[in-house]
Amino acid sequence: MESNKINIIQLRPAIDLMGGKCVRLVGGKFDQVTDYGSDPLEFAKRFEDWGLEYLHLVDLDAAKTGLLSQYRWVERIVSKTAMKVDVGGGIQSEDAIRIAFESGASQVNIGTAAVKNPDLVYKWLKTFGPERIMISMDMQVDQIRIRGWVDDAEIEWKDFLQNFVKMGSKYFVCTDTSKDGMLAGPSFEMYNNIRKAAPDIFIMASGGVASMDDVLQLQESDVQGVIIGKALYEGNITEEDIKSFTFLQK
């Protein structure tokens, strides 16, 4: 008998930090910034009030410099809410990982370091566990992007993915960088291709979500999580939308 069970997925609102402010970039371009200005903690509290349990926090300053700079916001958010926070941006050393975890992060996102030093990331997977290390697979066409999406890593995503699957990685944040911040819809075909290449990984879809219709279509795909950014800040996805969705997922 065919099951009618709803595929339950995590919704993770994104807070991108630059200079201590909440911002959104267009396609990852640092010269195309929308400043939402509000206290990041207030956004986190708002999302928690809407019934969301997870938060995706990105240190954009560190994504460029490689130096973790916004960890105090992790401390504040974790101490003032019950949200589970994953942290990304510029995490390229074990010290940075430990700072993130000591600040209260549940998971960290590793991008550039995964390309530049995969053997070191393999060590981190062993040290901290594959449930706490998320591999950021930031893609433009078939190529991986690094350093805040500024540089081409000169490696195809399939090779990158298979390498980390063999290492035991389970969690992947998969972003079409050309879609991010565009409100033009996700790359559904991309996620289907990733799933075919790696049937057993946890896929966190990121980039381009413009409405709850996109979320519902991703729900029908075999992904386990969705990161939502600009659609929340611009009001395309509302409190009512989120509460209705999370109620149906209970």
Residue 119 bears catalytic tag: no
Confidence of residue 147 (pLDDT cuts 50, 70, 90): low
- Three-point CA angle 202, 203, 205, nearest 5°: 155
pLDDT of residue 3: 40
Please state the rounded mean pLDDT for residues 194-217.
Answer: 94
Provide the mean pLDDT of the chain.
Answer: 85
Question: How many structural domains comprise the chain?
Answer: 1
Per-residue pLDDT at 1 exceeds 50: no
The answer to whether position 2 is within a domain reads no
Q: Cβ contacts of residue 216 below 8 Å, gap of 6+?
A: none
Token pair belonging to 193: 């291709």
β-bridge partners, 23:
16, 35
The answer to whether position 142 is within a domain reads yes
The answer to whether position 57 is within a domain reads yes
The answer to whether position 112 is within a domain reads yes
User: What does the pLDDT look like over 113-126, one tens digit per residue?
Assistant: 998 899 999 999 99
Residue 59 bears catalytic tag: no
Q: 16, 59, 61, 180: which is the annotated catalytic residue?
A: 16
**Helix ranges restricted to H, 15-59:** 40-49
Cα 115 to chain centroid, rounded? 17
pLDDT of residue 227: 95
Q: Other C-beta atoms within 10 Å of 195: how many? A: 16
Greater model confidence, 208 or 68: 208
The answer to whether position 4 is within a domain reads no
Confidence of residue 6 (pLDDT cuts 50, 70, 90): low
Residue 99: which H helix or E strand, with range?
helix 94-102
135-139, 156-160, 198-202 — most confident range: 198-202
Greater model confidence, 189 or 18: 189
Per-residue pLDDT at 54 exceeds 50: yes
CATH assignment at residue 102: 3.20.20.70
Q: What is the pTM of this model?
A: 0.87
- Identify residue 74 by its one-letter amino acid code: V
Single out the residue of 111, 118, 175 nearest to residue 146, CA to CA: 111
Greater model confidence, 24 or 27: 24
pLDDT of residue 5: 44
Per-residue pLDDT at 21 exceeds 90: no
The answer to whether position 21 is within a domain reads yes
- Identify residue 61 by its one-letter amino acid code: D
Q: 61, 138, 180, 214: which is the annotated catalytic residue?
A: 138
Query: Beta-strand (E) ranges in 82-219?
Result: 84-88, 107-110, 133-140, 143-146, 151-156, 171-176, 202-206
Q: Are strands 151-156 and 171-176 parallel, antiparallel or unpaired?
A: unpaired
Instruction: Give the range of the structural domain holding residue 36, as residue numbers without chain letter.
Output: 10-249
The answer to whether position 146 is within a domain reads yes
Please state the rounded mean pLDDT for residues 204-212.
Answer: 93
Token pair belonging to 106: 């549940």
pLDDT of residue 139: 84
